């Protein structure tokens, strides 16, 4: 192997290490209702699901992907955050589901910008719509912006539609399966019932010892994740 090839291999290994470190930092933040995992096939592609717990999008279960730039994290290019289902919001492009992050991340600042901050921003704009001042220059869905400003009733009706659609698509599998894609099973009383009962019977202090990774399902009608 040539010196040049060795240098490229070392560079690739170091970059993957930095990506892994970024993911571990994200996990340490413990962002409630948000689940993210890197693709098994591609470390630059991350899968995610956000369970919206409050605000006008409450009970929505939005799948998304995060696509890292090829030189991440040593690049000012901002990762691409893409929703996998329709989200009626002024900052989300209706044609491809891409969220305009320019408001919070005009450029990526290596060492200071992190994925967990991006997820916090996404969570904020979905759960605190009225507290987020939307600048017109960052609007990519003009219809959503117009209705939000001029006809809130119609805007909320459109939001309800996308919330319901997100719930209906919760159990869908991707067109190109990935081993680490986040999947949910429908609640099965015979399989999940005993585990759910054991969780209910545990004392609050004992719940903190439950593992944070493993199989997950969603109880019908609640759209809240229950993890094993």
pLDDT for the residue 203:
64
The secondary structure of 112-148, three-state, reads: CCCHHHHHHHHHHHHHCHHHCCCCHHHCCCHHHHHHH
Question: Which pLDDT score, from 0 to 100, does residue 209 have?
Answer: 47
Give domain 3-201's CATH number out of 3.40.50.970, 2.60.40.10, 3.10.110.10, 3.90.1150.10. 3.10.110.10
Residue ranges for the chain with pLDDT beneath 50? 207-215, 223-228
pTM beyond 0.85, yes or no: no
Question: What does the pLDDT read at residue 210?
Answer: 46
Q: Domains of the chain: which residue ranges?
A: 3-201
Across-strand partners of 35?
A: 49
Q: What is the DSSP string of 7-62?
A: HHHHHHHHHHHHHHHHHHHHHHH--TTEEEEE-SS-TTEEEEEEE--SSTTTT-EE
Give 110's contacts (C-beta < 8 A, 6+ positions apart): 73, 74, 75, 76
């Amino acid at each position: 192997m040539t010196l040049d090839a060795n240098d490229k291999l070392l560079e690739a290994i170091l970059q993957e290490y930095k990506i892994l470190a970024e993911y571990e930092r994200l996990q340490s933040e413990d962002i409630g209702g948000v689940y993210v995992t890197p693709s098994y096939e591609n470390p630059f592609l991350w899968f995610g699901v956000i369970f919206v717990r409050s605000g006008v999008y409450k009970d929505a279960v939005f799948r998304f992907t995060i696509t890292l730039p090829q030189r991440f994290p040593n690049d000012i290019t901002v990762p691409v955050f893409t929703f996998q289902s329709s989200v009626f919001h002024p900052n989300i492009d209706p044609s491809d589901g891409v969220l305009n992050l320019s408001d919070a991340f005009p450029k990526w600042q290596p060492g200071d910008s992190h994925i967990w901050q991006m997820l916090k921003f996404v969570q904020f704009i979905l759960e605190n719509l009225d507290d987020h001042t939307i600048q017109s220059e960052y609007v990519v869905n003009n219809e959503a912006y117009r209705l939000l400003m001029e006809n809130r009733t119609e805007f909320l009706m459109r939001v309800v539609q996308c919330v319901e659609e997100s719930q209906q698509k919760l159990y869908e599998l991707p067109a190109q399966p990935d081993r680490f894609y986040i999947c949910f099973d429908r609640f099965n009383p015979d399989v999940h019932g005993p585990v759910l009962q054991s969780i209910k019977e545990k004392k609050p202090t004992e719940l903190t010892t439950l593992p944070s990774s493993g199989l997950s399902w969603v109880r019908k009608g609640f759209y809240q994740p229950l993890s094993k």
